[in-house]
Structure 1
Amino acid sequence: MGNIHRAWLEPLRYTYLKSGLTLSDLSTRVPLAKSKLSELLRGTGLYPRWEIILSLSLQLQMPGWPLYQLWCQAAFEAQKSSDWVERCGDKTSVTTSQVPPLDHRAFREIVENDYRLYAQVFLDDDQRETAVSNTFDILWLRWNEALASPDIRRFAWNTLRTTVMARTPHIDGRPEFGEAAFDTVALQHLTTNTERLRQLEESLQLFKAMSRLPDQQLDIMVLRPHYGICLEPASTLMGVPLATIRSGERHAIHFLESVICPPPETEGNTA
């Protein structure tokens, strides 16, 4: 099961489990046998046709439009052809006039630009836009779950991070984002080739070391030193206490300094 498949399946499964309906109940309302419904909800078997997902969304009272967009992407991820997607996923069966809840739209307006900044550290322009768009589609599907969470901002940030990291190349389990070194503020303000080359080498070394940080510390370093976002806005954006931002940044800087500029050996140190 691919990452995008999981992105729409998990909200669908969560909504089903919260609905109180049984597989027997659904099988009488959806044109699919109970055993096949079980496979679909477990993410096994053949990739499902859109008409089945639409039927389920109607029974579970889920918004069809974000579900349709994620279903299409996951179909391509599952190596389905464009013809298959067009045959099985006629979007005329979904009203494109659906709009997210008002508070979802307001939340998106507040955080979307900052989400793009975060995503562009790891992804190229097309992938960045897709990842951010997917994030808000997933949040639309999971909005009630987000509202019921201890902190909607943290819920949303975790959704963004999961979506971005699913598209980010990894080496030995670490995110690869060396290309971000070419787009640093420090590099843009230099004029000579020698200065730019030296800064680029330093940035590449820094980003390689940053990839070894724990998830939260990495995110803090992306927002704080890389983009210069102040402490309180970073705390608000990630949905974590201000003290966590301060502590995370302090520990991250200590680790990076120890890796990039290790302290010299003291005299008389023997092997």
Structure 2
Amino acid sequence: MNDSSAPDGPRLRLTFEAFCATHERAWSGFARTQVGADHGAAELIVAEMKAHLRRNWSLALRQEIPAAYAWRLLKEHLGAWLDAQSQPAAVQIAAMDAVIGHFCRQARLSLETLPEQIGLLTAILALPERQRDIMVLTYCLDLDDDEAAAYLGTPTATLRSNRRHARRRIAKAIGRPDLSDRESR
């Protein structure tokens, strides 16, 4: 990392590189769930976010939870990318297909018909952003509760509560009350 925007000093560079190595899998995985089949776009978004983070690394280290700060940057860069697309809703719907499949496997939920699958997609997209992020982080990216909570800058108990509420909303929306009782995490 010899570019001029790199954090000053070997210790800051080392902490930045270690931080990125720790979190890049989750950043990239989440970006892929948002941009669909365009994995190149996901890589570009994460690279731009990392460059932004690198320029502001000293600020990130002063945050209570640096992972939450980086998560907000990722969300900002994803939002900007989606806004620049000609059909951002179509991109998000295509991207959520993988999330839905993984969610169904993790939640041991069988949806046989296309209307059931569309209903689940609609229910997930209708969740508040925080709950939608929790569902993606825990069910699609398989992050443990502590790690997902750190990204969101929230206590683990709050993450679990939000996930229960999200599951209940989804269960109600798709007419499957048993779904909210099958907490598999």
TM over 0.5: yes
Normalising by the residue count of structure 2, what TM-score does the alignment of the two structures yield? Answer: 0.72
Deviations 1:223-255 (A, max 9, x none): 112333322232234332101210110111111
Q: Take 1:143 and 1:175, find their aligned partners in 2: how far apart are those partners?
A: 34
Change in CA separation of 1:128 and 1:228 when aligned onto 2, cut-off 3 Å: same
Task: Select the residue among 161, 186, 193 that pairs with 2:75.
Answer: 161
Q: Is the 8 A contact 1:119 1:132 kept in 2?
A: yes
Change in CA separation of 1:121 and 1:108 when aligned onto 2, cut-off 3 Å: same
Partner SS state of residue 112, structure 2: helix
Partner SS state of residue 149, structure 1: coil
Matching of residue 252 in structure 1 with residue 166 in structure 2 = yes
Q: Take 1:201 and 1:105, find their aligned partners in 2: how far apart are those partners?
A: 45
Q: Take 1:151 and 1:163, find their aligned partners in 2: how far apart are those partners?
A: 19
Task: Select the residue among 2, 8, 22 that pairs with 1:110.
Answer: 22
The residue aligned with 1:240 is: 154
Q: Take 1:258 and 1:174, find their aligned partners in 2: how far apart are those partners?
A: 23
Q: Is the 8 A contact 2:60 2:70 kept in 1?
A: yes
Deviations 1:171-222 (A, max 9, x none): xx9795221354334789xxxxxxx993665444322222222221111011
Report the aligned-residue RMSD: 3.3
Structure with more contact order per residue of length (Cα contacts < 8 Å, sep ≥ 6): 2
Change in CA separation of 1:186 and 1:153 when aligned onto 2, cut-off 3 Å: closer
Matching of residue 152 in structure 1 with residue 74 in structure 2 = no
Normalising by the residue count of structure 1, what TM-score does the alignment of the two structures yield? Answer: 0.51
Partner SS state of residue 126, structure 2: coil
Structure 2 unmatched ranges of 5 or more: 7-11, 178-185
Q: Is the 8 A contact 1:181 1:203 kept in 2?
A: no
Q: Take 1:206 and 1:103, find their aligned partners in 2: how far apart are those partners?
A: 40
Q: CA deviation at 1:167?
A: 1.6
Change in CA separation of 1:249 and 1:186 when aligned onto 2, cut-off 3 Å: closer
Q: Is the 8 A contact 1:154 1:238 kept in 2?
A: yes
Paired residues, what number?
161
Change in CA separation of 1:209 and 1:258 when aligned onto 2, cut-off 3 Å: same
Matching of residue 179 in structure 1 with residue 94 in structure 2 = yes
The residue aligned with 1:228 is: 142
Q: What amino acid is the match of 2:173?
A: V
Q: Is the 8 A contact 1:224 1:231 kept in 2?
A: yes
Q: Take 2:140 and 2:58, find their aligned partners in 1: how far apart are those partners?
A: 33
The residue aligned with 1:55 is: none
Percent of matched pairs sharing the same residue: 26
Change in CA separation of 1:174 and 1:220 when aligned onto 2, cut-off 3 Å: farther
Q: Take 1:230 and 1:177, find their aligned partners in 2: how far apart are those partners?
A: 24
Which structure's residues are more often helix, by fraction?
2
Q: What amino acid is the match of 2:17?
A: R
Q: Is the 8 A contact 2:125 2:132 kept in 1?
A: yes
The residue aligned with 1:142 is: 56
Q: Take 1:205 and 1:232, find their aligned partners in 2: how far apart are those partners?
A: 30
Task: Select the residue among 123, 126, 130 that pairs with 2:44.
Answer: 130
